[in-house]
Amino acid sequence: MKPNSPFFIKLLIIQCLSVLSVSQDFDFFYFVQQWPGSYCDTEQSCCYPTTGKPASVFGIHGLWPNYNDGSYPSNCDPDSPFDQSQISDLISSLQKSWPTLACPSGNGSKFWSHEWDKHGTCSESVLDQHGYFEATLDLKKKANLLHALQSAGIQPDGESYSLNSIKAAIKDAIGFTPYIECNVGQSGNSQLYQIYLCVDTSGSNIIECPVLPRGRCGSSIEFPSF
């Protein structure tokens, strides 16, 4: 086939189109929750939202589309900016379950907007803006992490717990093994910062993780109070 034949050019266009559409796809989500006590117990500290101190429970960080090879798409659609009017019915639930702890204090819209623009726009083929935030709030109801840990005697009391006991408590209560992310507290201690569960591409079913993020915790992990 001559490289400039019409057939060759058509083939090239079809290939380009399929690469473009496949690259917008994703394989699964990470559903990430954060422990407020660990976010706050770092050198930068934290600021409570304008709506008040969040409850002493895990808060949502985000729902992140990911690929099976560990890489992930981000900021996929600049033409679909965060629009709070599309989720006005969800605001009070978001304030409760997806509070912002970044400084300066905010009402949460900046955090939700960042998460939508960076991650949500990469799963728009499955979930529109309302669907994305609704699915994330529903996942939090399915995965009560504090309850899971407390059922195994793991409390936010400033004590340290083994990584394996934390993973086992969540596997027992929720049925799937989480990925645990630690941060480093003010006194150099490894502490329980974020818990990742994996979710299928519909955004509604928790699954075993196809791949885990990199990083590690110490074998003994502090669970700070909040």
Catalytic residue among 114, 119, 124, 147: 119
Residue 124: strand, helix, or coil: coil
- Binding-site member from 63, 101, 149, 174 for ligand 5GP (CB under 6 A): 101
Using CA atoms, how far residue 212 sits from 115, 143, 148, in Å, is 20, 18, 21
Residue 206: strand, helix, or coil: strand
Nearer to ligand 5GP, 68 or 165 (CB): 68
Kindly indicate which of the ranges 57-65, 83-91, 152-160, 171-179 contains the residues binding ligand 5GP, using the contact rule CB under 6 A: 57-65
Kindly indicate which of the ranges 16-24, 88-96, 112-120, 218-226 contains the residues binding ligand 5GP, using the contact rule CB under 6 A: 112-120
Binding of ligand 5GP by 161 (CB under 6 A): no
- CA torsion sign for 204, 210, 216, 221 is positive
Binding of ligand 5GP by 120 (CB under 6 A): no
Contact between 65 and 99 (Cβ < 8 Å):
no
Structural element, H or E, at residue 211: none
Structural element, H or E, at residue 155: none
Residues 14-33 touching ligand 5GP, rule: CB under 6 A, are 30
DSSP 8-state class, residue 159: -
115 is catalytic: yes
Q: Which residues are known catalytic residues?
A: 61, 115, 119
- Which residues contact ligand 5GP (rule: CB under 6 A)? 30, 34, 39, 61-62, 64, 66, 72, 100-102, 111, 114-115, 118, 213
